[in-house]
């Protein structure tokens, strides 16, 4: 039986151990201890050394029935800021922070629910396949843990990431790839009152280029955005330089390539016309993932949710998560909603009922896997 008090106590305990990105060491030690208590073999990789963090990813294994395909669950240990000294307050079966920090339910609700489910599997002596657990570091600052995870330690080819907002029963089967586009436009300074004709305004050039661009919602698969633009020093100087940060995302790589090219070409063309210099750097931040709705991993989750009477919804996400990186590394994974509410804000809160629902669904998935 899933124990409501136990999983709640665990969640409350976990959110009070601060673990902002790259500072997950204390929390990872607690999790290592808890996983070992249940009987998992636990190791940590060296991703922390690679990214300059305090600890690596946790990779843990619970050996099971070898005739069944191994199954992986993944959550991230880090939180966004401000995530230090979180003081949980429970009101009407909902857990809030005191309003000065985030709550940390993203992703500690997933972690607490998963550990409760594993305890339950052991207590009830449920027959299960080998279960692998990964708890990643630095997800919130660019999926850094999963990008540097030691995949040679993983045997699973299928898995679930427990890390998205929405009602329990929601399965995210698509996530876009993302390009980051960094642009520097160099014009020429001049006195804005005495001889503006001698200058080239980088701000004017950037504006012209941006106006000429297709941005924001491009189509159902694709988005693009100019995120920041910085430049200029004073009103009496024709602005010599602006620095722009932009991004494009799509679940279809050809569409992403086309959108990124469109943005790069437009900056180059306008800069050319206006005699400004243009430096552009494009970085593919992560690849896309698309898991077919008829895939076994989705059938497994859907069936398990249905058995528990939860509504099943399959949808795509506009954001990036460790799910993207797992899929790019040969692990077919989808992201399951854990009931996160207003994550990444001071209003973040979490329903205790959802903690129980997520634990139950993980048990059900493990039984059916």
Three-state DSSP at 202 gives: helix
The site for Zn ion, by CB under 5 A, has a size of 3
Residue 305 C-beta: closest distance to Zn ion, Å: 20
Query: Which positions from 121 to 160 touch Zn ion by CB under 5 A, shown as an x/- string?
Result: ----------------------------------------
By beta-carbon proximity to Zn ion, the closer residue of 259 and 327 is 327
Q: Phi and psi (nearest 5°) for 3?
A: -100, 105
Q: Which of 34, 106, 116, 221 binds Zn ion (CB under 5 A)?
A: 106
Binding mask of the shown chain, residues 160 to 189, with x at each position contacting Zn ion by CB under 5 A: ---x--------------------------
In sequence order, the β-bridge partners of residue 350 are 95
Give the nearest distance from C-beta 75 to Zn ion in angstroms: 8
Q: Min. distance of Cβ 190 from Zn ion in angstroms?
A: 48
> Which pair of tokens denotes residue 241?
């330089």
Does the footprint of Zn ion cover residue 78 (CB under 5 A)? no
Q: How far is the CB of 322 from Zn ion (least distance, A)?
A: 8
Query: Which of residues 34 and 106 has its CB atom nearest to Zn ion in the complex?
Result: 106
List Cβ<8 Å contacts ≥24 apart for 344-348: 344/80, 344/102, 344/106, 345/102, 346/82, 346/97, 346/99, 346/100, 346/101, 346/102, 347/96, 347/99, 348/96, 348/97, 348/102, 348/103, 348/104, 348/105, 348/106
Q: Is 107 in the site for Zn ion (CB under 5 A)?
A: yes
Whole-number Å distance between alpha carbons of 137 and 141: 9
DSSP string computed for 266-290: HHHHHHHHTT-EEEEEEEEEE--EE
- Judged by beta carbon, residue 115 or residue 239, the one nearer Zn ion is 115
Q: Which stretch binds Zn ion (CB under 5 A): 107-115, 173-181, 208-216, 226-234?
A: 107-115
Q: Quick one: CA torsion of 155, 314, 254, 148, rounded to 10 degrees?
A: -30
Residue number with CB closer to Zn ion (20 or 274): 20
- The answer to whether 244 touches 185, Cβ cutoff 8 Å, is yes
Q: How far is the CB of 286 from Zn ion (least distance, A)?
A: 14
Examine residue 20 and tell whether it contacts Zn ion (CB under 5 A).
no
Residues with a known catalytic role: 78, 139
CB nearer Zn ion, residue 141 or residue 243: 141
The closest alpha carbon to 184, from 285, 257, 283, 276, belongs to: 276
Q: In angstroms, give the least distance from the CB of 269 to Zn ion.
A: 39
- The CA angle 320-321-323, to the nearest 5 degrees, is 115
Report the residue number, 70 or 83, with the smaller CB distance to Zn ion: 83
The tokens 């989808």 sit on which residue? 334
Binding site for Zn ion (CB under 5 A): 106-107, 163
């Amino acid at each position: 039986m899933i124990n409501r008090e136990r999983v709640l106590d665990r969640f409350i305990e976990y959110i009070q151990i601060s673990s902002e990105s790259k500072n997950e060491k204390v929390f990872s030690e607690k999790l290592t201890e808890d996983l070992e208590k249940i009987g998992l073999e636990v190791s940590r990789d060296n991703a922390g050394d690679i990214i300059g963090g305090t600890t690596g990813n946790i990779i843990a294994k619970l050996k099971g029935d070898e005739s069944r395909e191994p199954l992986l669950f993944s959550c991230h240990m880090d939180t966004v800021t401000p995530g230090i000294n979180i003081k949980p307050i429970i009101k009407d079966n909902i857990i809030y922070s005191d309003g000065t920090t985030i709550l940390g339910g993203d992703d500690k609700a997933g972690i607490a629910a998963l550990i409760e489910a594993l305890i339950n599997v052991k207590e009830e002596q449920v027959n299960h396949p080998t279960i692998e657990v990964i708890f990643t570091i630095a997800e919130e600052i660019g999926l850094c843990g999963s990008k540097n995870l030691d995949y040679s330690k993983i045997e699973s080819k299928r898995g679930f990431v427990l890390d998205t907002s929405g009602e329990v029963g929601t399965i995210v089967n698509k996530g876009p790839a993302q390009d980051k586009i960094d642009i520097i436009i160099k014009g020429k300074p001049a006195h804005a009152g005495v001889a503006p004709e001698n200058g080239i305004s980088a701000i004017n050039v950037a504006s012209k280029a941006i106006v000429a661009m297709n941005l924001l919602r491009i189509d159902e698969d694709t988005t693009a955005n100019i995120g920041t633009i910085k430049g200029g020093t004073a009103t009496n100087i024709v602005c010599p330089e602006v620095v722009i940060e932009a991004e494009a995302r799509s679940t279809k790589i050809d569409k992403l390539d086309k959108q990124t090219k469109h943005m790069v070409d437009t900056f180059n063309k306008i800069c050319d016309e206006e005699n400004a210099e243009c430096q552009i750097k494009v970085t593919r931040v992560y690849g896309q993932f698309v898991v077919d709705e008829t895939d076994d991993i989705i059938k497994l989750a859907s069936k398990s949710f249905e058995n528990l009477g939860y509504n099943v919804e399959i949808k795509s996400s506009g954001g990036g998560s460790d799910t993207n990186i797992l899929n790019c590394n040969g692990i077919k994974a989808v992201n399951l909603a854990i009931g996160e509410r207003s994550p990444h804000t001071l209003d973040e809160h979490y329903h205790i009922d959802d903690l129980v629902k997520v634990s139950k669904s993980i048990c059900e998935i493990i039984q059916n896997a």
